[in-house]
Structure 1
Amino acid sequence: MTRSLLQRALPKTLLARNIVLLIVLLMLSQICVLGVLLHYVQRPRVERAATVFATYVTTLDNLLQATPPGARADLTARLDARAQLPAEAAGAPPPGLMHAYRTYQRNVFLESLRAHLPADMPVRWQSEGGQRMWIRMHAPADAPRTPYWIALPIPEDAQGAGLDAAILLSLGLGALAALTGYVIQRHLNQPLQELTRAARRVSAGETPAPLPTDGPAEIATVSSAFNQMTHALQQAEATRALMLAGISHDIRTPLTKLRLAMAMAMPDGSDSSFVVAAESYLDQIETILQQFMDYAGSGEREAAAPGDLNALIERLAGDFAGLGHEFELSLANLPAVAYRPISMMRLLMNLMQNAIVYGGTGLAVRSWTTNEAVYVAVGDRGKGLSAEELEQLKAPFQRGRNARAHSGGTGLGLAIVERIARLHGGSLQFHAREGGGLEVWVVLPLISDPATHPARRGTPRPL
């Protein structure tokens, strides 16, 4: 319970945590230094001042008692002696955090002074109207019923003014140390931020530049390990693509020979149902091989360039219309989007093909844009999988329950689409379609300079 509370109380970033730790350590060190200074330096100094002041008061009290009555009246008048304690000296100053140090000094001084004065000589510290010390002197022998109060200036050592500059300087040095620690930590965080950006690029399917390894030893070690990991991933990706390309080539060659052998082995006029079935199976094998190749490639080596995404959508919709599948189009004017033409065509073809195979009716494609991204939605009116179930099919080799009636698939279709979207810095989303059915949204970020392709913003409308 205590640990969870501490975790919630701590800042989330390493920079903030280090600054908090530095400030706490500085505060503890300043408190320790201040405690040592007060107890071992300032307190003895104030106690010595109280001892000297008590000696002075005792001497003055003895002098007043030994002075003749006539001269004593002139002396007490010059000392502004009073029969009653003034009202401004009767109350103690209010306690406060800002005056804690002065209060401590005053209490130490009064405690030490009372220890050196007789018990029948009370002492009062006046704070209002000026700092003064009121002490009640003994009554003279010729007038035992008339004691009087005398105001004396307070020694500077007891007022606590000498240490204010030291405390302010200490606080200033603490603030300077905290600021310096903040600057140093910001400098140390820059390699970590570069590492974060590079890791996100790797997650998006890109190949980041090698990280610099000339910083602090610990961060340089992490950067070097990350560079090695990135290089190993690139080698693994190249090896996988080469292996799949070799497998595809080696398998397609005997398949072609098998097709030719089957055509030559069947005599004229014989039943060709076996040949038709065999060729159907061979076509399925070809499709599976192509899907593996598509997933292995996904367009990493293809260069991206700004282009008209609506033109690509219209061309694909025309191709599907030629096969008897009509897509209703609702395309807004889009700004320039940097995409890989072949990969983007593969992405849209897969989504439109899935809508035909698993949706069947209400086929539609719409596009729109916001200030941050371009959206392309492919929808249908089918009653197939829900958006939640489709999210699970982004993983490779996952097939939904509605795929049992469709042979020839490998469970790579949505994995290929999702990978191509991430390669473009975008994402794939599934949404229930207004009026029934499902929409698959492709979200692509805008290029940094949309002025190269000026266009009006479009607003999506329900289909």
Structure 2
Amino acid sequence: MAPRSLFARNVLLLVALVAVSQVCALAVLLHFIQTPRIERAAATFASYIQTLDTVLRSTAPGTARDVTAHLDVRRNLPAAASASVDESRLRFYRTYQRETFVESLRRHLPADMPVRWQSADTSDDGQQRLWIRVHLSGEPRWMALPVPEAAHDDGLATALLLSLGLGALAVATAYAIQRHLNRPLEHLADAARRVSSGDDPGVLPTDGPTEIAQVSDAFNRMTAALAEAEATRALMLAGISHDIRTPMTKLRLAMAMSAVPSTDAVFASSAEGYLDQIDSILQQFMDYAGSGAKETAVAGDLNALVASLAADFAGLGHEFSLSLGSIRTFAFRPISVMRMLMNVMQNAVLYGVSGLEVRTWTDEQANAACIVVADRGKGLGTQDPESLKQPFKRGGGEGQPKGTGLGLAIVERIARLHGGRLDLRAREGGGVEAVIVLPMPASPNETQP
């Protein structure tokens, strides 16, 4: 299976290219250089053997004993001698040399002068030999020619090792170059993740290779445009909020100074409720636009914040059952997290009414703080939990409280801003559970979650 990353693929391609080049170089060396050299040596050696055989043929029978005393000439071939050369996979080049030399020698010698090979393991003195049949005084004899071990080492093994070393050096160099080229891409991916979580990625350097520099420059322009659009949106919403709240304040003042409250209390109460609802909607729009991205994270006690909010809701007549587990102090954006918890707890009050509960604990494996806000309302039904987290998507049916549909979207944005997530799921026994997971930095002094 091919690796998925571009870095691994490029390194694998470079390794494959170096390996193929080394194999091709070795094949060219053996076929066009070494093989002709060995065959020429075998032809020269065969001519010497034939000359020696001619001399031995003409040797007088009386002097044959003196010849055998100086040459290892035997009447019978040793049983260990064979027609094939012993092979070794670890020393493939030595095996190749032997086989090429013996086969070439056989081609250059007459048919009545066969060649046999005896390995060092089977000889009495531990030396390998070539056995060639010659004719001493006209009678066939086997003559042994010792083959020194040094004759098989002509420096090619060293050359092969040097070639492999150069190949390894080429792979290491290619690895270092590819790492250097991939570093800007890693920075770009990290910056993209920071943008998706709502952080400021900073300005990427554009001093790398031309193609990557163009991508980094385009990314910098994109983030600048996004920041400008975000600032424009926040300014627009702030302007809308200010422009709407000014006449609302005047309307409240006019109603308070008029005779309406004393003459029609129901109408006055209804009008005040509508004004409060408009003010709440404006505040939700502002919360969604702000999302706390510019707030600095500080070390705090999440359980203390949950307990404080539960006490505030209890003062309004909404009791939350608390089950607070052990969560160490870690860095988070306190105002944003308070807004996130208020929204999800307010949702439980509005849609659940009863069975209100908040549980916290630490997920040691994920090194994250977990908060569950649960209720005993009508539950999710057939609604898709993911769609409820989208802006302007409201849950509930007839008779349920109306809103802007931004509450859970705000919770989702703040959770993602901290590198966490919001999950909605059905509660066992009825109702809904909103699960918030917030990663905890490794050190309490870390200021960026």
TM-score, normalised relative to structure 1: 0.87
Match of 1:123 among 103, 108, 115: 115
Q: Which amino acid aligns with 1:24?
A: A
Contact kept in structure 2, 1:109 and 1:158, CA below 8 Å: no
Contact kept in structure 1, 2:64 and 2:136, CA below 8 Å: no
Structure 1 residues 30 and 250, CA, compared in 2 at 3 Å: closer, same or farther? same
Partner of 1:416: 410
Alpha-carbon shift at residue 256 of structure 1 (Å): 3.5
Contact kept in structure 2, 1:106 and 1:158, CA below 8 Å: no
Matches within 5 A, 1:377-396: 377-385=372-380, 389-396=384-391
Contact kept in structure 2, 1:387 and 1:438, CA below 8 Å: no
Structure 2 residue matching 1:368: 3-state secondary structure: strand
Matches within 5 A, 1:22-421: 22-90=14-82, 92-129=84-121, 130-138=127-135, 140-141=137-138, 146-154=139-147, 159=152, 161-260=154-253, 270-371=263-364, 372-385=367-380, 389-400=384-395, 402-421=396-415
Structure 2: give runs of 5+ residues left out of the alignment.
122-126
Structure 1 residues 387 and 205, CA, compared in 2 at 3 Å: closer, same or farther? farther
Contact kept in structure 2, 1:307 and 1:337, CA below 8 Å: yes
What is the distance in 1 between the residues matched to 2:316 and 2:358? 17
Q: Could you tell which deviates more after superposition, 57-66 or 18-27?
A: 18-27
What is the distance in 2 between the residues matched to 1:361 and 1:285? 27
Contact kept in structure 1, 2:348 and 2:374, CA below 8 Å: yes
What does the per-residue CA deviation read over 1:406-453, in whole Å, with 9 as the maximum and x for residues that have no partner? Answer: 34312111110011112222222234445543322222222342389x
What is the distance in 1 between the residues matched to 2:429 and 2:258? 55
Contact kept in structure 2, 1:295 and 1:415, CA below 8 Å: yes
Contact kept in structure 2, 1:317 and 1:327, CA below 8 Å: yes
Structure 1 residues 196 and 385, CA, compared in 2 at 3 Å: closer, same or farther? same
Alpha-carbon shift at residue 224 of structure 1 (Å): 2.0
Contact kept in structure 2, 1:123 and 1:133, CA below 8 Å: yes
Alpha-carbon shift at residue 284 of structure 1 (Å): 2.7
1:440 is the counterpart of 2:428: no
Contact kept in structure 2, 1:288 and 1:408, CA below 8 Å: no
Q: Could you tell which deviates more after superposition, 304-313 or 33-42?
A: 304-313
Contact kept in structure 1, 2:368 and 2:439, CA below 8 Å: yes
What is the distance in 2 between the residues matched to 1:451 and 1:280? 45
What is the distance in 2 between the residues matched to 1:228 and 1:342? 31
Structure 1 residues 72 and 449, CA, compared in 2 at 3 Å: closer, same or farther? same
Q: Which amino acid aligns with 1:119?
A: A
Q: Which amino acid aligns with 2:329?
A: A
Structure 1 residue matching 2:76: 3-state secondary structure: coil
Structure 2 residue matching 1:89: 3-state secondary structure: coil
What is the distance in 2 between the residues matched to 1:387 and 1:360? 20
Contact kept in structure 1, 2:421 and 2:436, CA below 8 Å: yes
Q: Could you tell which deviates more after superposition, 284-293 or 249-258?
A: 249-258
> Identity of counterpart residues, as a percentage?
61
Q: Could you tell which deviates more after superposition, 305-314 or 316-325?
A: 305-314
Structure 1 residues 301 and 209, CA, compared in 2 at 3 Å: closer, same or farther? same
What does the per-residue CA deviation read over 1:6-58, in whole Å, with 9 as the maximum and x for residues that have no partner? Answer: xxx11222232222111110111011111111111111111110111011100
Partner of 2:124: none
Structure 1 residues 93 and 113, CA, compared in 2 at 3 Å: closer, same or farther? closer
Structure 2 residue matching 1:88: 3-state secondary structure: coil
TM-score, normalised relative to structure 2: 0.90
Alpha-carbon shift at residue 188 of structure 1 (Å): 2.7
What does the per-residue CA deviation read over 1:93-113, in whole Å, with 9 as the maximum and x for residues that have no partner? Answer: 454432332232223222322
What is the distance in 1 between the residues matched to 2:222 and 2:260? 59
Contact kept in structure 2, 1:49 and 1:157, CA below 8 Å: no
Q: Which amino acid aligns with 1:410?
A: T
Contact kept in structure 2, 1:46 and 1:157, CA below 8 Å: no
What is the distance in 1 between the residues matched to 2:155 and 2:50? 27
What does the per-residue CA deviation read over 1:278-298, in whole Å, with 9 as the maximum and x for residues that have no partner? Answer: 443333332222211110011
- Coordinate RMSD, CA, aligned: 2.6
Structure 1 residues 94 and 404, CA, compared in 2 at 3 Å: closer, same or farther? farther
Q: Which amino acid aligns with 1:242?
A: L
What is the distance in 1 between the residues matched to 2:12 and 2:252? 74
Q: Which amino acid aligns with 1:175?
A: A
Contact kept in structure 1, 2:85 and 2:99, CA below 8 Å: no
What is the distance in 1 between the residues matched to 2:49 and 2:394? 100
Q: Could you tell which deviates more after superposition, 282-291 or 113-122?
A: 282-291
